[in-house]
Structure 1
């Protein structure tokens, strides 16, 4: 009989349509084979919010230095539980102005979640129990600059606060100049019989450094520009001041230790606006920030002296989520910031993890290993094949001669601002979707609670012992170890409300049902504050000693900032086990 049933199931499954291959239609058509300006991004978010009013609330959480709105979307079914009463995930991008694809990653998340609700069971269930706070652009001024002005793959990075880099009393007066008019900051080269470089004899786009002791024909002058302020230096005082990923309270160090830190933590209005929002929403249990590039899934600490903020218990959670990221994201690696990359003081995800206790990741989007995917290896020849045969030369500006006021005749050209770091447009949607899938796995790991086996035992006349088990099916605990050890956030609450004539005499935690002693609660035994909450994929046991007549009833409730509250009557809980 079992074989017959199994055969029938297999026939039904094989005959069913393969929904994973279907396109879920959206009420808003967006393309993810292109990048969006600040205005286009805001318009896309507005159109999604208008098309899905039952799911999306759009709000400005603050203004940038230049007065641009910082648009955040709250994704939560409005017919259900309010977003502030559900565990939530905060996702942002584009904290560095040049790292533009972080914005597209977050916009894709908004677009896909809204079209999936009611059409994909998995994501619908996730949105019913979790909320999402989505901020595509943290640094709107520098994103606007990147699109509208000259830029490189690496700049502008910080915000647009005027800053006197060279100490001459003037601000931003000597940045790079677009000498060849291509819209990008490329390189300058000067013919020099004592130079250290030669041009490749087969491909004159390529300059190669000569061996030690040999003499070349060219000197590399650096980024294109002139001495605009007459101080004998070039490009020494350009735009951007605060590096907004060095401006957070967690482990912040001043500017002389780490350039771009700003005069004090949260000195940038953009970082301050984000911090105010996050701190006003203690239900945020998961945090993701998108940067570029290198194919990295980064977690803290940013400096070795902050290792104590990451206990073994919390590190196991990071490992669980990060390793799934390595599976979902080809050529990405799970890394610890200070150990595997470099030291970061005052980073955003370090602040979220260490000051607030939130499980937080930074994804460094895109890796050159994806150019040629068979083995993930890259070298200069393969990179030029990519640029010529797959990108059709769009990322290179041919060298042209320019008369330079300081250097005389120079060559200007080379790789333009689209040449690296940002995902090629024809590969962008896949990069968006894979990173979206990783964040959905992260969101799934936010605490999911239920009552386990609960028992009621009579100890004597009008004396009862109720043992309550609370289980967490997900990897993230209701309170991380760093929260428990440092008193961060509100403690979880386990309450037993009894009817008239009944009372809780005492209560306490136990580690095993067979325990005959309890770790007694000294204050309010019917309303227990729990520092450590319920561990990830674990349970807690708590025992109440009750004075009541036979047949009494009451309600057990467990509340946590990071999980949906659960509540059930004593009679329903113990129906699973007989009264002894």
Structure 2
């Protein structure tokens, strides 16, 4: 059997290399790793899904499932690295006998899509890259720009930086302590040397005066194309013509809706160094309290294990205070009632020692002292490459300019190569604990009692051994996306049902998560809410075997057999 592959976590894989790597895992570990394509991207690339579970202990669809994906946004490549890191940690841990990895893959299943948007990632990794938001499909129009500035790599160095030109009306100036650094011109300031700063790119039909940066022809944002709270372009840029119009999103939606065993999910993005929790469209006050308490508890666990603060999307991570953004989180939790987190990997400002910052607000405005710290970090930790020194360049339309400044792709959207594995290593402990918290249906007891005249009473009891309830959330019950525990007796020829129904929908089952502390005012009165029992009366010959099964959508399925004796 082939050896387990050893990935490079300091590099980003192009699609062909990623495909070979995932195929190598499946070939080396056929009892743990299954690879399948869940659809094709806009350009026809496979969207790979890795199923991680021990097939020796049952089918993946009979086990509670955790979903993880990455790289829905084109240049957020470290998201894919984080998925690969957990994949490798799970299979090597299982292979070496690690108790947690074995428990997880024996009793649960992980569905993993390391790169949901292969086309956009391929463009970001091209020899002459472009950094678009998401899919490469032209949207909302397919015409190329006829004028304006198109953002691209002008000097052919494989990076997209900034261009600056001296301009007495320019809004930027060199910092007094370090002339490499561009900082805003002060209100009312005059008499200095000022610059106009713009993205690196080329211009069409430049009149010598007006410069407007063109929007990317590829204007989609796949994370705005999900069914929950979808809005048209005038309300939510990049949302597409209708929900799930894009093949990448449709592939994910089709898979998750056809796998009701998925009870929780994490989507990896970059950057900000935070864990985002529900909800995205409403405040904590509007959230079902029991769900909020549980999400906060598991989010704080994430903060403890990863070092990333856990914050509310609605309260703490809006691009604009008067607007809301919607995406995967709102569909998975607010529509389906499964738990969901978005992880924004990597915080370069924190890396530079900037600790007093407020996620989105910092990007709107921050003191120049923060930029000086970042510049020092670039010089001492990144070989001066996070901020590239300005160099003269003869621009084909603008004449002499200087190209340099912050390298957003390689040091902002993603960590530099030597820090990528460190960032990815933050997450396996939390992801594993979330997965092992999923509800797990188990057979508690079976009984057969003779009632006379070949008549028998059959009892079947099951229990939820997991931390979370079998419904996962109150939201799932409100949205009617889960059923209670469904029991079924499978009658063989010669056996008839005297009382009871062949299929019975029982209750949702609590997990072992505490509803309150032992000092609470009122005790929990339903002591065994994690258990359910069904009984039937059947008539049949002694010695006949009867199959029984039970299913809780998000807690998996169990199968057993009793003998009439």
Same topology, TM > 0.5 = yes
2:345 maps to 1:380: no
Selected match of 2:184 from 173, 189, 209 = 209
Structure 1 residues 455 and 200: alpha-carbon distance in aligned structure 2, compared to 1, 3 A threshold: same
Instruction: Please state whether the residue corresponding to 2:244 is helix, strand or coil.
Output: coil
TM-superposed CA distance for 1:404, in Å, is 4.2
Q: Is the 8 A contact 1:447 1:476 kept in 2?
A: yes
Q: Is the 8 A contact 2:439 2:469 kept in 1?
A: yes
Q: Is the 8 A contact 1:102 1:290 kept in 2?
A: yes
Selected match of 1:196 from 171, 178, 181 = 171
Structure 1 residues 46 and 239: alpha-carbon distance in aligned structure 2, compared to 1, 3 A threshold: farther
Selected match of 2:333 from 339, 353, 356 = 353
Instruction: Please state whether the residue corresponding to 2:194 is helix, strand or coil.
Output: strand
Counterparts of 2:437 and 2:306 in 1: how far apart (Å)? 18
Deviations 1:206-264 (A, max 9, x none): 12223211124223232122322669544314242210010100111111001111111
2:107 maps to 1:114: no
Structure 1 residues 328 and 141: alpha-carbon distance in aligned structure 2, compared to 1, 3 A threshold: same
Q: Is the 8 A contact 2:273 2:344 kept in 1?
A: yes
Q: Is the 8 A contact 1:472 1:534 kept in 2?
A: no
Q: Is the 8 A contact 1:481 1:532 kept in 2?
A: no
Structure 1 residues 443 and 540: alpha-carbon distance in aligned structure 2, compared to 1, 3 A threshold: closer
Map of 1:521 onto structure 2:
none
Map of 1:175 onto structure 2:
150
Map of 1:482 onto structure 2:
475
Selected match of 1:258 from 236, 248, 273 = 236
**More displaced, 187-196 or 358-367?**
187-196
Map of 1:396 onto structure 2:
387
TM-superposed CA distance for 1:115, in Å, is 1.6
Structure 1 residues 285 and 429: alpha-carbon distance in aligned structure 2, compared to 1, 3 A threshold: same
Selected match of 1:268 from 230, 246, 251 = 246
Map of 2:466 onto structure 1:
473
Instruction: Please state whether the residue corresponding to 1:112 is helix, strand or coil.
Output: helix
Map of 1:444 onto structure 2:
436
Q: What's the TM-score, normalizing by structure 1?
A: 0.79
Instruction: Please state whether the residue corresponding to 1:399 is helix, strand or coil.
Output: strand
Root-mean-square deviation (CA, aligned residues, Å) is 3.7
Instruction: Please state whether the residue corresponding to 1:175 is helix, strand or coil.
Output: strand
Structure 1 residues 64 and 465: alpha-carbon distance in aligned structure 2, compared to 1, 3 A threshold: closer
Q: Is the 8 A contact 2:166 2:196 kept in 1?
A: no
TM-superposed CA distance for 1:504, in Å, is 7.9
Structure 1 residues 329 and 565: alpha-carbon distance in aligned structure 2, compared to 1, 3 A threshold: same
Map of 2:516 onto structure 1:
none
Counterparts of 2:238 and 2:248 in 1: how far apart (Å)? 14
Counterparts of 2:489 and 2:137 in 1: how far apart (Å)? 54
Instruction: Please state whether the residue corresponding to 1:357 is helix, strand or coil.
Output: coil
Selected match of 2:64 from 87, 106, 115 = 87
List alignment gaps of at least 5 residues for structure 2. 358-368, 450-454, 514-527
Structure 1 residues 150 and 114: alpha-carbon distance in aligned structure 2, compared to 1, 3 A threshold: same
Counterparts of 2:264 and 2:100 in 1: how far apart (Å)? 18
Counterparts of 1:430 and 1:202 in 2: how far apart (Å)? 32
Counterparts of 1:569 and 1:193 in 2: how far apart (Å)? 85
Q: What's the TM-score, normalizing by structure 2?
A: 0.81
**More displaced, 132-141 or 46-55?**
46-55
Map of 1:67 onto structure 2:
44
Q: Is the 8 A contact 1:480 1:532 kept in 2?
A: no
Q: Is the 8 A contact 1:179 1:402 kept in 2?
A: no
Counterparts of 2:128 and 2:5 in 1: how far apart (Å)? 32
TM-superposed CA distance for 1:78, in Å, is 2.8
Counterparts of 2:117 and 2:241 in 1: how far apart (Å)? 18
Selected match of 1:187 from 162, 169, 176 = 162
Instruction: Please state whether the residue corresponding to 1:195 is helix, strand or coil.
Output: coil
Instruction: Please state whether the residue corresponding to 1:281 is helix, strand or coil.
Output: coil
Map of 1:283 onto structure 2:
261
2:559 maps to 1:559: no
Selected match of 2:311 from 335, 348, 354 = 335
Counterparts of 2:443 and 2:158 in 1: how far apart (Å)? 61
Map of 2:486 onto structure 1:
493
Map of 1:245 onto structure 2:
223
Map of 1:41 onto structure 2:
18
Map of 2:201 onto structure 1:
225
Q: Is the 8 A contact 2:470 2:510 kept in 1?
A: yes
Map of 2:518 onto structure 1:
none
Structure 1 residues 471 and 401: alpha-carbon distance in aligned structure 2, compared to 1, 3 A threshold: closer
Structure 1 residues 397 and 474: alpha-carbon distance in aligned structure 2, compared to 1, 3 A threshold: same
Counterparts of 2:36 and 2:88 in 1: how far apart (Å)? 16
Counterparts of 2:556 and 2:153 in 1: how far apart (Å)? 55
TM-superposed CA distance for 1:447, in Å, is 0.5
Structure 1 residues 544 and 133: alpha-carbon distance in aligned structure 2, compared to 1, 3 A threshold: closer
TM-superposed CA distance for 1:92, in Å, is 0.7
Counterparts of 1:205 and 1:149 in 2: how far apart (Å)? 27
List alignment gaps of at least 5 residues for structure 1. 1-24, 507-523, 572-580
Selected match of 2:426 from 420, 434, 438 = 434
Give 1:141-180 correspondences, 5 Å limit: 141-148=119-126, 150=128, 155-163=131-139, 169-170=143-144, 175-180=150-155
Selected match of 1:411 from 387, 402, 407 = 402
Instruction: Please state whether the residue corresponding to 1:434 is helix, strand or coil.
Output: coil
Counterparts of 2:35 and 2:457 in 1: how far apart (Å)? 51
Q: How many residues align?
A: 521
